[in-house]
């Protein structure tokens, strides 16, 4: 019984260790891949610094759209966004097309990049999140 407890504790420690040691490289790798996707598909409208274009394309910097609910954010990429939105008192009307043709990996990477660039800090998005979101939005 005692040995099981120790084993559990040990595996927990190992998990924690592997999380801290793997998380940072995983983030860096995802951001590196994500930046390429961002540059191709997002930067033209949201601009290199993520600040967007006044009245048209919303900023990606420290907004609840980017830092909040992952599924909602993934949904914007999958479904596009064609409605007026308001951020810090400014309205944005630009039309964003659906980017559902990107792979789960690409969407996960680019959103991880956006959520951890331009002064943003938020958790990783993994391909499984995108896979589940695709199912959720199909319903």
Partner 1 sequence: MKKSSILLLILAVCFVSAFVVLDKNNLFKTSETAGLQLPQGFSASIFYDNLGRARHLSVAPNGDVYVKLSKLKEGKGIYRLRDANHDGIAETASGFGNYIGTGIVVTPNELFASSDNGVFKYKITNNEVDTTSVLPIVKGLWNKRQHESKSITLDNKGNIYVNIGAPSNMCQVEDRKKGSPGQMPCPILDSAGGIWQFKTDKANQSYGEGLRYATGLRNVVGLDWNTEVNDLFVMQHGRDMLFQFYPEMFTQQQGAENPAEEMFRIPKGADAGWPYCYFDNDKKQKLLNPEYGGDRSKVGDCATKTQSVMQFPGHMAPNGLVFYTGKQFPAKYKNGAFIAFHGSWNRAPEPQEGYYVVFVPFKNGKPEGKWEIFADGFAGPNKATGRVDYRPCGLAQGPDGALYVSDDSKGRIWKITYQN
Please, what is the minimum distance in Å from the beta carbon of residue 50 to partner 1? 11
Residues near 23 by beta carbon (within 8 Å), at least 6 away in sequence: 124
**Can you tell me the distance from the alpha carbon of 56 to that of 37, in angstroms, rounded to the nearest whole number?**
21
Please, what is the minimum distance in Å from the beta carbon of residue 113 to partner 1? 16
Choose between 21 and 32: whose C-beta lies nearer to partner 1.
32
Please, what is the minimum distance in Å from the beta carbon of residue 90 to partner 1? 9
Please, what is the minimum distance in Å from the beta carbon of residue 77 to partner 1? 12
**Binding footprint of partner 1 on the chain (CB under 8 A):** 39-41, 43-45, 47-49, 51, 53-57, 80, 82-84, 93-98, 101
Q: Are 74 and 130 in contact (CB under 8 A)?
A: yes
Choose between 57 and 112: whose C-beta lies nearer to partner 1.
57
Choose between 54 and 68: whose C-beta lies nearer to partner 1.
54
Choose between 44 and 68: whose C-beta lies nearer to partner 1.
44
> What are the backbone angles phi and psi of residue 63, rounded to the nearest 5°?
-115, 155
Which among 82, 81, 87, 78 has a CA at the least distance from the CA of 108?
78
**Can you tell me the distance from the alpha carbon of 43 to that of 25, in angstroms, rounded to the nearest whole number?**
24
């Amino acid at each position: 019984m005692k040995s099981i407890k120790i084993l559990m504790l040990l595996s927990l420690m190992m998990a924690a260790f592997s999380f801290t040691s793997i998380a940072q490289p995983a983030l860096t790798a995802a951001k590196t891949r994500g930046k390429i996707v961002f540059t191709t598909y997002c930067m033209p409208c949201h601009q290199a610094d993520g600040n967007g274009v006044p009245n048209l394309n919303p900023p990606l910097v420290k907004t609840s759209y980017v830092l909040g609910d992952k599924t909602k954010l993934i949904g914007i990429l999958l479904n596009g966004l064609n409605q007026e939105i308001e951020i810090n008192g400014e309205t944005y009307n630009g039309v964003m097309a659906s980017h559902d043709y990107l792979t789960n990996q690409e969407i996960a990477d680019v959103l991880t990049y956006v959520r951890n660039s331009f002064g943003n800090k938020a958790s990783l998005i993994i391909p499984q999140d995108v896979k589940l979101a695709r199912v959720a939005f199909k319903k």
